[in-house]
Chain A
Amino acid sequence: MNTLAHAPTLTPRAAFRRPGMRWSRDELIARAVLLAVMAMLFVFLVAPLASILAHAVQDKEGRFVGLTHFITYFQTPSLLRAAWNSVWVSAAVVAISVPTAFVFAYALTRSCMPVWLKATFRLIALIPLLAPSLLSAISFVQWFGNQGALKFLLGGMSIYGAPGIILAEVYNTFPHALMILVTALSLADGRLYEAATALRTRPLRQFMTITLPSCKYGLISASTVVFTYVVSDFGAPKVIGGNFNVLSVDVFKQVVGQHNFSIGAVVGMLLLLPSVISFAIDWVVRRKLKAQLTARSVPYRPKPRKLADALLLLFCVGVCGLLLATIGMAIYTSLITLWPYDLSPTLKHYHFVLLESDMAAAYFNSLEVAAITAVAGSFIVFVGAYLIEKTRNLGLMRRTMHMMAVLSMAVPGLVLGLGYVMFFNHPANPLGFLYQTMAILVISMVVHYYTSSHLTAVTALKQIDNEFEAVSASLKVPFIKTFFRVTVPVCLPAILDIGRYFFVVSMASLSCAIFLYTPDTILASVAIMHMDDAGDIGPAAALASLIVVTSTVVCIVYSLLTRVLLSRTQAWRQLGRG
């Protein structure tokens, strides 16, 4: 009563209630779904990592032993050497791959080559993305191995070991570095060059003072991505590494070969270290990259420079030649009887893979996993990104979700797989039934490739108006309806991109699956590794080629489908341009 007297406009209930927004049904649904996505990332990313950490400090009976395993590890010279090998080989790959990709990217963005040539070069340069990392290793074995076509070029040196790994990884990482550097180089402000020319600055000085500094972050980013890729890659060193030990192969040997989970966990932690560091650098750098270009920048248009253009063209032809020679050798190997003794063309390897052995099952398993990952992955990723981008007042939830979404990139597939073995194989885990199923393979793919897809989705979502949800609420339309009627159609190109990405990467992925497959759920990339181990190079090359062909066909079909779909559903886009 007194309150009423003092403040007549305050209703007593409101006066005594603690302030807090009442949640509508919509907001409850949004939070519930977001919690489900977060729970998935927690159970399938954070918990397995924690499980590795736990194994690293426990003995076989589960007693806490502190840093004993780490000490053992560091006192074993052979193990320690693997760590050093990993580091220097990765550094060497960075030193070759990044400068090459930079010149290539420079040619694509800053030269006056015909557009169709640039497009062709670009397509050829992206081919390595379609193949498992094993393929390039197999190919280099064919070129430079004991019976290699060009073995004489090595002059007695063996390809098995560091040289082979470096060659194969340069091939594998080239498109990754190229994509980043093309982006960095296309973000040029043409006005800067005009100002420099007006000040009579020589081309070389323009390059040193404008071009290079503007790509600084791109170069750092590309280097960290390449470094991380090589440190955590398993396929190439397994095939062409010989007795040359690296961390990733060591994890495999410790866990699968010797069942030494404790040392495996320690190596896993070490494997995580460079990834996390380079990932952190990359993250900081990427933020700066964004702020570089202002809305007032004018895109750079290259002017013809005869000599430079010709040299760049020559360079691109050379690089593309090498890339094609690599993939070409793998395909060639799959089409001849037996290198180097019987070069007669044959389809018997394909026949063997698809009809005579159980490798067909592996191929179809891979197809199945890739297809399900594409559909489920793009759905989960997009819904998760949508909810954290467009839901109000999430506070801590938003930050936690974003951190987990971004963490996945820092975790090598091998480490993730190892975490799954330790976490889901644990007898007390109620989710243990997932172990040894196709489902866990799909989940591991979704989680392992979560970050890039998440960032693609976030970028697309940031481009659409932030107030759609507010408008819907004011019109009393549930946000789910607006999501399906507006947000999804508007973001369809990005969603389709995410789906294709998931398909291609899970089709070729090896490191994630190597700990998780069973004879029933074996994937093509694992099968290739086994065949290579057994010396069945022909069938291995055939299966690898099949993966490349499948991914290529899927990409082509995808882009055709996308075009048809977009022309049907995106009439508003075309009209806007006209």
Chain B
Amino acid sequence: MNGTTTVSFVGVGGQGVLLAANILAQTAMAQGYDVKASEVKGMAQRGGSVLSTVRFGKLVWSPLARHADVVIATELLEGRRALPLLAPQGALICARTIISPGSVLRGETQYPQDIEAAAAARSVTLLLVDAEAVARQAGTVRAANVALLGAASAKLPFSEAAWQQGLAAAIPAKILDVNQRAFALGREAHLNEEVTL
């Protein structure tokens, strides 16, 4: 809205959703944008859903937006759940990671299988990323959040240098290396995908 781009991060507590959001915020600042962000993290370590929103533009007023231009989801069900958050023609960049909630594990509910159809029905561009495989290739599955961000990076208006500044600003030095590799691998793998913003 008003020349501001909104990117929302969703996932499950413990997946590094907030870190990914912080990398994006730092990158947008490195690119010279005004940035505002907000997160709901009270239940973040208790396996609940997590939502973090980053907004950037020439001048950003509100830290919050009802609809996002891009949703980056570190888990498939959470990506599916976030579809209503997307503005029309928005993009969902979603990891193929599945973390079944208790009700699915106990057989009370079904894990949804309809993310492609639901995205198409909403005219949302969907990019599914095997983030855990990419991260494993980089050295640790824990970097799946950053691998996913790498896949999304090609679709966001930031330079390679800005991304590198964002990564360095948000990630502790001793795990920066492996995360840089995960980011690069994710970025390469999806550089040519058809996602228009």
Whether A and B are associated in the same complex: the answer reads no
Q: Which A residues form the contact surface with B (CB < 8 A)?
A: none
